[in-house]
Amino acid sequence: MNIPTILTVKAIDDYTLVIEFKNRQKKKYDVVPLLKKERFFPLKNLAMFKMVQVEQGGYAVFWNSDIDISEYELWNHGQTIP
């Protein structure tokens, strides 16, 4: 199955991302489990967390050059929402 690319991402106060994919499907993704990994520690700062952006081409979301999450992870482990 082809994973659709990401169109938009929005960060919510409870460390959840709302992602809209190219096929117009939306998913919620809980980032809390990732905050236990050293690479994701900076995202514990809510202001930093809210700076999330979609990478050019829509293949990931990112915060800086060290912190990103692929469209594959978001698609396969995100919760579908209406």
Q: Is residue 12 part of a domain?
A: yes
Q: Is residue 18 part of a domain?
A: yes
- Among 12, 7, 13, 50, CA closest to 25: 7
Q: Is residue 74 part of a domain?
A: yes
Please report which confidence band the pLDDT of residue 2 belongs to, taking 50, 70 and 90 as the band edges: confident
Q: Is residue 70 part of a domain?
A: yes
What's the CATH code of the domain at 29? 3.30.2020.10
For the chain, how many structural domains are there in total?
Answer: 1
Q: Is residue 16 part of a domain?
A: yes
For 8-42, what is each residue's pLDDT tens digit? Answer: 999 999 999 999 999 999 999 999 999 999 999 99
Give CA separation, 6 vs 13, 27, 58, 76, in Å. Answer: 21, 11, 4, 13
Q: Which domain holds residue 13?
A: 6-81
Q: Is residue 1 part of a domain?
A: no
d(CA 33, CA 82): 24
